[in-house]
Amino acid sequence: MENYDFLIFLAIILLSTKAFGLLTEKVHLPQVVGALLAGIILGPSCLGIVAKTDFLTKTAEIGVIMLMFIAGLDTNINDLKKSGVACFVVALIGVLVPLVLCGGVYYLFYADSFTAKNVLSAAFVGVVFTATSVSITVETLNEMGQLKSRVGNTIIGAAIIDDVLGIIALSVVTSLGGESANPSIVLLKIVLFFVFACVIGFFVHIIFKGMDKNHGQSRRVAVWALAFCLMMSYVAERFFGVADITGSYIAGLILCNITNTKTAIAKKMTVASYILFSPVFFASIGIGTDITGINAGLIVFTIILLVMAVVSKMIGCGLGARVCGLTTKESLNVGIGMVSRGEVAFMAAQKGMDAGLVNPAVFPAIVIAVVGATLLTPVLLKASMTEKAPETANTTA
């Protein structure tokens, strides 16, 4: 007879991630934090009820692939074009500074010698902290009536470009971490993958565009789209050594400007994602976070990493904004708004651990720093903005 344990594991994961998610939402934290907590509690470092099985690992992988596919689909290419140079500068400096600072902290603490592998590990930790997740910032700005201000527009535009830059950085470090360690071949493979994506994307775009009018809303298009996304994820990993989530994100980008189709696909993927796949993904991150190995050294590292995670975005993005002509106050707010991290950070950290480049003992520190930075964002943003609320309120559209 078969073993039916996976059914009850799934049920427990769904119940607990949702219950904890609603609890954290009550105290104005994102549900993701609750889902992670649920995973930590269920996992071996706490109750030890649910272990990572092959089935859960693969389901979680589909979960993260779907999340990145949805992120790709939801990208608004027109917004990206409009947001222009300022946002690009904010995003670029905002990616480089955390890459160097957070990677540097890891290197100082955990690299015993100057080897390529140690540098690569540090780069991976740096990459984890490059990608902003602005959903919390958007919520906070919206609450304060500042979403349509110059600060709000800059943050949203920069966050989109930031995602793309983060994915490129992730592709580079993942590929370098692969077996064929020759950097020039690795970079060639990345370039070839993007060429491949452009060629395939050209034809797939035409095919889906053709279905847009008659079948844009229909089931078949969503099924084709998911198949395409899975195919791109597989090809990225298997033939180009690029992360599978890069493949699915690009699959999303390819379809993101086909009006009817894009909306219908994103809607259906979102349902499949939140009903099963993404709870399993977040729970599995929590399950993989072994907090039993936390000691004084790790706590110090965690605190410094958290500080760097916050400061690096404030400096990087703030500097970018200032260079592009925003006032000092506005630049500071842009910097603070970009501090929060999210799903992409967890994905990158998980990839680093899978590739044997991120020390599993350090994983809890990374998770805590990501969550901590996210939690601090609305607090800092409110403190900074309410200080001179009457003036900035005038810029609200």
Which residues contribute to the site for its own copies (CB under 8 A)? 1-2, 4-8, 10-12, 14-15, 18, 22, 54-55, 57-58, 61-62, 65, 178-179, 219-220, 222-224, 226-228, 230-231, 233-234, 237-238, 244, 268-269, 271-272, 274-276, 279, 354-355
- Minimal distance, residue 228 CB to its own copies, in Å: 8
- Minimal distance, residue 8 CB to its own copies, in Å: 4
Give 62 or 161: the residue with its C-beta nearer to its own copies: 62
Give 350 or 374: the residue with its C-beta nearer to its own copies: 350
Q: Which residues pair with 132 in a beta bridge?
A: 341
Give 145 or 178: the residue with its C-beta nearer to its own copies: 178
Which helix (H) or strand (E) element contains residue 167? helix 150-177
Give 313 or 351: the residue with its C-beta nearer to its own copies: 351
As a whole number of angstroms, the distance between CA 306 and CA 324 comes to 27
Which residues neighbour 284 within 8 Å (Cβ) at sequence distance 6 or greater? 39, 52, 56, 57, 60
- Minimal distance, residue 274 CB to its own copies, in Å: 5
- Minimal distance, residue 43 CB to its own copies, in Å: 18
* DSSP character at residue 292: G
- Minimal distance, residue 202 CB to its own copies, in Å: 19
- Minimal distance, residue 65 CB to its own copies, in Å: 8
Taking phi first (over 0 means left), then psi (-120 to 50 degrees means alpha), and beta for anything else, what does residue 118 get? Answer: alpha
Contact 141, 155 (CB under 8 A): yes
- List the Cα angle 35/38/39 in 5-degree steps: 90
Give 161 or 173: the residue with its C-beta nearer to its own copies: 173
Give 3 or 113: the residue with its C-beta nearer to its own copies: 3
As a whole number of angstroms, the distance between CA 375 and CA 371 comes to 6
Contact 128, 61 (CB under 8 A): no
